[in-house]
Structure formats: structure tokens, C-alpha cells
Structure 1
């Protein structure tokens, strides 16, 4: 649209120049025929035409900008939806990995690390909203906590527990598992100096 309008305006300007050149060449209009009133009238008319063209140009620009903004908004919506899907896929992958590690560590008797991995699995499970898996994970968390009393909790594991526990408690869906989760933490803290704040005892 802009290109067409520019072409039309250019042609009009060219035609105007040609007409003025022909009139000048033929000397069909004499300067003595031009009065002050005529001159002012012609100037006002020219200003009106220029203002009309300027307003029209701005309207065309505004419509094009509005169209571009609508396209940008649509692309933003698509990107946000794609980002949400990617985050959910990443959370699902991290969830599966944490569950597999927790089972492997449980089988090898490393119950503290299995407890940490189950916490991590719960964190990701709250993101993907797989509530059936949450029931199993919470039962496993209690079992790992009970089996941890004969093992030492290393500093790296303790720091990881605190970090994951904070993320779990900040999750929007934490209220759904609060009681069972804190029961598991309470079971863990029965055997250890509390690493994770035991909210049930406050």
C-alpha cells in the first residue's frame, strides 16, 4: 500500500512539474493576471491539499502499525504457548530422571540420596501436575525417610534438600500435598538434626 501511494504521489508531482513547464514555455499565464486574492486562494488551497495528504499518510501508517502490532501479539502468544510446552517437556524429562535415580539409589541402599531424588521428583511432578504419581512419590518419601536413620547425610545432600524443599513449598499446587509432605519431612527429622524446617513442630 505504501509503495503504491508513493508511486501515485511521485506521478502527480511529475505531472505538476510538466504542466508548470508547459505553461511557462507557452507563457499562457501572465504574472499581471495574478492578484493578491488569487495568490492567497491558491496558497490556501495548496496548504489544504498538503494537509489532506499528510493526514491520509498518517492514517495509512497508523493502520499498518496496528496490523503489525496484531501480528506481533499473535506471535508472542504462540511463543508463550511453545515456551510453556517446552517447559512441561523439560519438567517431565527431569521428573522421569529423578524417579529412576531414586529407585536405583533405593535398591543400592543409599536411602538419604534416594530421599533427595524423591524430593526432586516431587518438585517436577508439581510442575507437570501428575497427581497419581504424587501419591506414590509421597509414600516413597516416607519410606526413604524411615530407612535413612542408619545413614549419614553429607553436606551436599543437605544443601540440595534445602534448595528443593524451598522450591516445593513455593509451588502453586503445594497445598494439595502439604500434610503428607510435612509428615514425610517429620519422619526424616526424627532421626537427624533437622535439615529441612519441620513445619509440623512449629
Structure 2
């Protein structure tokens, strides 16, 4: 709609400029004599009038262009804001999907009796959920389940060489822990999560000591 309006303005301005040029040319080729209808003063007056009209049109068009550009900038700002919101929503959706995949895998490992991997999968799921607005209220439920999983982890859950596998799990858990501290809703689970993390580290450390 705005583009059509701009084209209409351009057309009429061009037409007016053409008409002014024809009139000016007609006046110019007329013979200016002392007793003719078109005197030198008339000629100067007409030219001055046309110059005034042209100047007014140019200024008006500049004002119109300024307003049009201002509206366009405002429109672009709105589009940019919408794109940022869309990007954020897509990011939240991606995290939620990844979290649900990890959570589902954790439930499967639990059904299979693999407590270690069930804990790891749920740990990753919570890492993703802790950044999602819609999961804020559910975080403590996942933390409660994580607490149950860590209680059931034992030395028998680790494959040979057990000492190496325990150290691997310890390193992975520390990495997740450091990332968890930077999550948006870490504050909502901090106390319970830190208890679980400490319990896990104590279990892994004691298992290493037994192996040695």
C-alpha cells in the first residue's frame, strides 16, 4: 500500500514538472515587446511563481520521504524484535525437546536396571529444563527423581575397569554441575541439587577408595 502511494506521488510530481516545463517553454518563446500582452515583468513573475511552486513541492516531497523513512525504520525495528522473540522461542523449544529426549532415555535405562545411566540421562535433562520458562514449576519434581536415582547408584552399576568408569562419571558430573550453575532457574533448585551432587561425589569417591 505504501509503495503504491509512493509511486502515485512520483507520477504526479513528474507530470507537474512536465507541465511546468511546457508552460515555461511557451512563455520563453513568446516575443516579449513593450506593448505585448506578455511583458518582461509578467515573464519574471510567472517564472518566480513556478520556482516557488517547485520549491514547495520539493520541500513537501522531502518531508513526505522523511516520514516514510521514519515509518520504515519503525517497521524494521518491530520486525527485528519479532525475529528475536521467535529465535528465543525456538531456542526454548529446542532445549525442551532435548530435555524430554534425555528424560525418556533415563526412564528406559531405569526400567532396564541401569541406575548409573538413568541418573546421567536425567541429569542432562534437568540441565536443559533449568533454562526453560515453562519448566520452572516442574524442576523440583525432576530433582526429587534425581535424588532417588543417586540413592540407588552402586559400585555394581559400573563396568570394568570400574575405577576408570567411575572417574569418567565424576568428570562428566562436574562438567554438568559447572554448567548448571549458569542456568536461568538454577536458583530454584540450588539447595536440593547441591545435596544430590555432594552425595554423588561422596559415592564415587568412596567407590574409588574401595577399589584401591
Give TM-score scaled by structure 1 length. 0.75
Instruction: Figure out how many residues of one structure are paired with residues of the other and give that number.
Output: 189
Provide the TM-score with structure 2 as the length reference: 0.72
Q: Closer, same or farther in 2 for the Cα pair 1:174/1:45, shift >3 Å?
A: same
Cα contact 2:170–2:201 (8 A) shared by 1: no
CA drift at 1:182? 0.4
- Helix, strand or coil for the counterpart of 2:184? coil
Shift of residue 70, structure 1, vs aligned partner: 2.6
Cα distance change of structure 1 residues 114 and 75 upon mapping to structure 2, 3 Å threshold: same
Distance 1:52 1:16, change over 3 A: closer
**2:203 equivalent to 1:191:** yes
Alpha carbons 1:113, 1:157 under 8 Å: kept: no
Q: For 1:48-197, list aligned pairs within 5 A.
A: 48-128=52-132, 129-131=134-136, 133-150=138-155, 151=158, 152=162, 153=165, 157-193=169-205
Q: 1:185 Cα deviation (Å)?
A: 0.4
SS in 1 for 2:113: coil
In structure 2, C-alpha distance between the alignment counterparts of 1:146 and 1:15, rounded to whole Å: 92
Q: Could you tell me whether the CA contact under 8 Å between 1:142 and 1:187 is conserved in 2?
A: no
Q: Can you list the C-alpha shifts for 1:139-184, whole angstroms capped at 9, x where unaligned?
A: 2322332333403436665554344323321112111111100000
Instruction: State whether residues 127 and 176 of structure 2, in contact with CA within 8 Å, keep that contact through their aligned partners in structure 1.
Output: yes
Judged with a 3 Å threshold, the aligned counterparts in structure 2 of structure 1 residues 53 and 158 are, in CA distance, closer, same or farther, namely: farther
* Residue range with higher mean Cα deviation, 142-151 or 184-193: 142-151
